[in-house]
Amino acid sequence: MFELHHLSAQELWDWIRRGDTTAREATEHFLARVERLDPELGAFVTVTADDARERADRLGHLVPTSRPLWGLPSGDKDLYDRAGVPTGSGTVSLPERPATADHPLVAALAAAGAVSLGKTASPEFGMSSSSETRRGVTRNPYDTTRAPGGSSSGAAVAVAAGLLPAAVGSDGGGSVRIPAAATGLVGLKPSRGRVPSMPGRSGAGGLSVAGPLTRTVADAGMYLDALVAPTGLDEPVPYALVTPDVGDGPFTAAAVRGEGRFVLGVLDGSPWDDTVDVVVDPAARDAVDTAVRVLSELGHGIEDVAMPRTPYASAFRVAWESSAAQLPSVPGIDLTALTPLVSWLVARGQALTGTQVLAAMTALDTFSTTLISAFGRFDAVITPTLALTPRPLGWYGDDPSEDFRRQCAYSPWTSMANVAGLPAITLPVGVTAADHPDGGGLPMGVQLIGRPGGERTLLALGAQLERRLRWQRRHPPGW
């Protein structure tokens, strides 16, 4: 039987705009699915049902139907403030106080016409790819004994399980792409500075940027358009460092057309190989092989490219630790209530000297220029998104040093795109075979890393793969 969550985000937007359904009906449908399915999944930490209904009822009077996300149910990652709603940040170390103002990302989504159903789960302060916190556990809808990855854990699970048509997460080292890959979604990390509501050099290394988690490539283009050109805000958002390319049209158009032939590289190695034992599951290699085969059949040029051997791991670790060093200054925080990983990162970050941090930033800049040069002859470079299948709950353990090592071994190809500011997309190319030791049907993603500002190329390639592999028809149990 057909239901509204079977529609893509674009299709649902068209239905609402044409009057085939209403924003209130869509809101009620997805709220009902949250109520029925989320107790097992843990995608939401707060559901603001009354506010969502009121917002949906008011949309017809306040927001033009031309807005890019008009009437679409959405959620706010629980790292970002929405006025009147507590921001939990995945921790029990903070008092539960309602936020007094909207974060620019939240304001941009509201201005685009989205209807927030509540706050989606994140690990503590977004510092991990685990989905287990002291506030609760978020489970992978393909296998609820496994984790969805993070840090945009709840957003990915909500989209994969049909609790939302699409969502926006944030990505500082893979936090959109990791959970997208583990839950069978498209996840796009834009170029550094592409999204005005999360500008340029915010935090050590300028690592984090907002990006969409969707079931189709066209939906990813639509949501990127909404993030890049927010309209209707009472106050302007901070400037973007990367502006839309004049004359190239919307990202949605590139994602729908899926045109072009390109030169692609297949990466050998990862930036963590010198410090972490990276073991690549055969299912991850199979997914890359599938993508390469289809892209070759479509006429793209494909070559091998070696990972440049430039120091990376220690400098990235310093950037991650230094970003945690500011947590003790957060008003009302109880440092004794932090998880072992975050407490360890705080201690290591506070022990760093300014000279060490500056040296790490210099090393990351050197790595960035070396990586961009090595990838320069390619329109996109192909890697697995994750080295392993979606991890069992409890896999990261309680030892913080081992936890960090396992995060790097699980996703050794994601953080380098953040460091270099490059756009990257994960595509749900494959699933594990029935005879795989971890079981059949687990999602396996393939990552494409683009040139600076090259989101349109990534979307076009994604659309071409989607037409052949038709992953939008693949859903978890309970769909």
Distance (Å, whole) CA 2 – CA 15: 14
Distance (Å, whole) CA 284 – CA 355: 39
What is the residue whose two structure tokens read 């989209």?
159
CA distances for 76 relative to 82, 230, 274, angstroms: 8, 16, 37
Pairing between strand 132-133 and 73-77? unpaired
Q: Which of 74, 77, 116, 322 is catalytic?
A: 77
Predicted pLDDT of residue 198: 72
Predicted pLDDT of residue 283: 98
Q: Which CATH number fits domain 4-473: 3.30.70.260, 3.10.20.30, 1.10.3720.10, 3.90.1300.10?
A: 3.90.1300.10
Q: Which of 89, 116, 128, 175 is catalytic?
A: 175
Instruction: Give the residue among 384, 364, 264, 367 at the shortest CA–CA distance from 309.
Output: 367
Predicted pLDDT of residue 246: 44
Predicted pLDDT of residue 239: 46
What percent of the chain is predicted at pLDDT more than 70?
94
Q: pTM to 2 decimals?
A: 0.96
Predicted pLDDT of residue 204: 55
175 in active site: yes
CA distances for 183 relative to 64, 153, 421, angstroms: 33, 9, 24
Pairing between strand 73-77 and 115-120? parallel
Distance (Å, whole) CA 419 – CA 416: 5
Predicted pLDDT of residue 64: 75
Predicted pLDDT of residue 196: 80
151 in active site: yes
Predicted pLDDT of residue 230: 62
**What residues contact 70, with CB distance under 8 A and at least 6 apart?**
13, 16, 17, 23, 59, 63, 64, 112, 113
Which residues of the chain, if any, have pLDDT below 70?
63, 199-205, 230-249
Predicted pLDDT of residue 63: 66
**What residues contact 157, with CB distance under 8 A and at least 6 apart?**
41, 42, 43, 121, 138, 139, 140, 141, 148, 163, 179, 183
189 in active site: no
Which tens digit of pLDDT belongs to each residue from 233-284? 555 555 455 554 544 668 999 999 999 999 999 999 999 999 999 999 999 9
The answer to whether 82 and 103 have CB atoms below 8 angstroms apart is yes
Predicted pLDDT of residue 248: 67
